[in-house]
Amino acid sequence: MPKVHDRGGWPNDDPIDHTEHKMEEWERLVDALNGVLGEKGLKNTDQLRRAIESLDLKTYESLAYYEKWTAAMEILLVEQGVMTTGEIDAKMAELKAGRS
Amino acid sequence: MAENGHNPGHEDGHGHGENAEYYSLRAEAMQALLIEKGVCTLDDILTMADKIDSRSPEDGAKVLAHAWVDPEYKKRLLADAESALLELGYDLPETAPKLTVLENSDEVHNMAVCTLCSCYPRSIIGRPPAWYKGLAYRSKVVVDPRGVLREFGTELDDSVQVRVIDSSADFRYLILPKRPAGTEGMSEEELAKLITQESMIGVAQALSPESVRAG
Amino acid sequence: MAGNAKYQPGDRVRIRVGVPPTHFRTPEYVQGKQGRIETLWGAFPNPESLAYGGDGLPAQPLYQIEFAQTDLWENYKGAATDTLLIDIYEHWLENI
């Protein structure tokens, strides 16, 4: 059984979806953040791929493209000790509270 | 949910479902923490976003249209894409994946994919379309490329060899589409308008001059 | 480095079969299949090491390999001359 990301030749009868959605600003920033972290030598493409590939099948298939990047970036930043999941949770709560 | 158990569409595209609210906030939180911790600045991020935005299919079309009109340039582009791109002012960063150009002809039709993720010649044509990153394309194009071509409205005779390139390593592939008939004497700017994103991936031919005039 | 490469364009090789628990870039659909070396790209840092923060050295020879589609898929729905090309690192190749 190939890994979740190894898709060449997987049975798939779905028509190719030509819908193009306008990129959200948060996605544009995730894309950019990925580039910045790469430029600073804090991550590389292979690490990002490895992190995405570690997602379970259900998550891999249900998350949108930049949602997967966000999950992967968290894995990399936490494993490198740059931040903890707890810190991210707390910051999310803070941002949410600031908005209500 | 499709019969085969796959959930089409959402993994292809951009966050607009119930997960988007959570992930957009999580991304914002990580960004805020990185800035607070001095790992990067907001300016770093915004500058990078603009840099990424600065490349679009129009850039690729410009280069390829030049190759159509200048046979010597085309030879250089096919031999060493990065040096040829530099001639036209496109300075690819050292750290960017290697770029190579494959020429389509009456005999050979190349098409590119990344079955393992979404590798794409971003450094010259910008971000990939949603369908390119999706499971349907990645699963089907290697096993049934002519079926995929048909989905894009492209029909090729069996006398044309179809070659699928899976970008599994350090190289990114840009397809030089066949120059359509009836384009003699057209300017480079007019020719560039015929070279679509789809034709540079290889799922379609370049537009015919008639279709552009009509449309 | 290219001088240390085991194979050259024109050689026929088989792709190794394997599913390491760690990151690798050799899709299952080409594993165990035979193809022809189309290009020797040169040596590049090994992604299997880079993926974990390693330096990927020593750089590994990377090849573009061409397969007949009819050798990859049973009941291939296309022309007999159709091919597929993919970039594979040397340590995933074996002699036939």
Give exposure, B82-114, as e/b (b: 16+ Cβ within 10 Å): bebbeeeebebeeeebbbbbbebeeeebbbbbb
ipTM above 0.85, yes or no: yes
**pLDDT at B167 > cutoff 60:** yes
Closest to A63 measured CA to CA, from B9, B139, C62, C45 = B9
In the block, tokens 């971000």 appear at B127
Are β-strands C12-15 and C34-44 bridged in parallel, bridged antiparallel, or unpaired? antiparallel
Residue A2 has pLDDT above 60, yes or no: yes
Q: pLDDT grade, residue B10 (50/70/90)?
A: very low
pLDDT value of residue B59: 98
Question: Pairing mode, if any, of strands B108-113 and C12-15?
Answer: unpaired
Q: What is the pLDDT of residue C3?
A: 58
b vs e for B9-43, b when ≥16 Cβ sit within 10 Å of the residue's Cβ?
bbbbbbbeeebbeebbbbbbbbbbbbeeeebbeee
How would residue B139 be classed by pLDDT, with cut points 50, 70 and 90?
very high
Does pLDDT of B173 surpass 90? yes
Q: What is the pLDDT of residue B215?
A: 54
Residue B17: list chain A partners with CB under 8 A: 64
What value does the mean pLDDT take over residues B185-200? 97
d(CA C80, CA A60): 35
pLDDT digits 0-9 by tens, B80-104: 999 999 999 999 988 889 999 999 9
What per-residue confidence (pLDDT) applies to C55?
96
Per residue in A79-100, pLDDT tens?
A: 999 999 999 999 999 999 998 7
State if pTM tops 0.90: yes
Confidence of residue B9 (pLDDT cuts 50, 70, 90): very low
pLDDT class for B76, splitting at 50, 70, 90?
Answer: very high
d(CA A82, nearest CA chain C) in Å = 14
- C-contacting chains (≥3 CB pairs under 8 Å): A, B
pLDDT at B212: 79
**Phi (first) and psi of residue B122, to 5 degrees:** -60, -35
CB–CB of A49 and C29 under 8 A?
no
**pLDDT reported for residue A1:** 53
Residues of C with CB under 8 A from a CB of B: 25-27, 29, 41, 44, 47, 62, 64, 66, 69, 72-73, 76-79, 81-89
Minimum-distance CB partner of A88 among B12, B33, B113: B33
Q: Residue B5, class by beta-carbon neighbours within 10 Å (0-12 exposed, 13-18 middle, 19+ buried)?
A: exposed
* Mean of the per-residue pLDDT values of chain B: 92
Task: State the pLDDT at residue B93.
Answer: 83
Chain C CB contacts of A8 below 8 Å? 27-30
Nearest CB among B98, B142, B160 relative to C84 is that of: B142
